[in-house]
Structure 1
Amino acid sequence: MDIDLPDVLAEVTAQFQRYERALISNEIAVLDELFHNDSRTLRYGIGENLYGSSEIASFRAARSPIGLMRRTARTVITTYGRDTAVASTLFYRDHMPGKVGRQMQTWVRFAEGWRIVAAHVSIIDEPKG
């Protein structure tokens, strides 16, 4: 299996960056587009477990657009073959001092393009040192 083919890595990185821009600017249509439209798509969030793209879309529509700005760090994107990737990042928000967020996404290439099929978001106390 080919890992991190340069062209595939560039494609997924561009989609990940598109997701980040949409997240902090609350572009709900883009966020909905980037999650695979399927009842098996999952998003485990900070305070919610969302099963299926319709639950994910409902969560996005009801979420406050305030306080979404964040900065990411230590982003790692790894591609496996031409059609699967995992994106992991840490994130920080100014209104959450001493906390670090963690996000992981599994991306799959479908006929309509790269889509997230599983995501996990959590927040922990920032480790010392």
Structure 2
Amino acid sequence: MPEIDIPEVVAEVRQAFEAYEQALVNNDVAKLDELFRDDPRTVRYGVTEVLYGYEAIKAFRAARSPVGLGRTLSKTSITTYGRDFATASTLYERPSAPGKIGRQMQTWVRFPEGWRVVAAHVSLMDPPKS
């Protein structure tokens, strides 16, 4: 059974996750491309898109508008399983999507070149009714 949440591994994944977030809000397409695994099996489900393979994800990033990418994160959770596998989940709010809650989940794997996203899901929802 893998050891869960080894502190130094959590710190590594958090650093990769934060680099991804900075690249996202600053529309650093080269860094975003770098952080996704260059593999035809990499998957990204977005708010309006279904992307299979690194090339499709890369093409989406290249065509995406850089307007309105700022956001505020909350409830970010990073969990590591052993030294080479992790998940990152977060909620976000964007001024460009008022009244909506964004959800993002990523699966990260350590490869020789570093931590890379191999699967991601992004969605928007109405706030839960309390």
TM-score by length of 1: 0.98
SS across alignment from 1:3: coil
Partner Cα distance (1:95, 1:33) in 2:
26
The residue that corresponds to 1:29 in the other structure is 30
SS across alignment from 1:11: helix
The residue that corresponds to 1:54 in the other structure is 55
Partner Cα distance (2:96, 2:12) in 1:
32
The residue that corresponds to 1:69 in the other structure is 70
The residue that corresponds to 1:79 in the other structure is 80
- Deviating 4+ runs (over 3 angstroms): none
The residue that corresponds to 2:20 in the other structure is 19
Deviation at 1:127, TM superposition (A): 1.2
1:96 has 2:80 as partner: no
SS across alignment from 1:88: strand
Partner Cα distance (2:26, 2:128) in 1:
28
Partner Cα distance (2:99, 2:106) in 1:
24
Deviation at 1:96, TM superposition (A): 1.7
Partner Cα distance (1:103, 1:70) in 2:
12
Alignment length (residue pairs): 129
Over the matched positions of the two proteins, sequence identity in percent amounts to 62
Q: Structure 1: any 5+ residue segments left out of the alignment?
A: none
Deviation at 1:98, TM superposition (A): 1.3
Q: Deviations over 1:63-111 (max 9, x none)?
A: 0000000010000000000000000000100122210000000000000
Deviation at 1:34, TM superposition (A): 0.2
Partner Cα distance (1:112, 1:95) in 2:
34
Query: Please, what is the CA RMSD of the aligned residues?
Result: 0.6
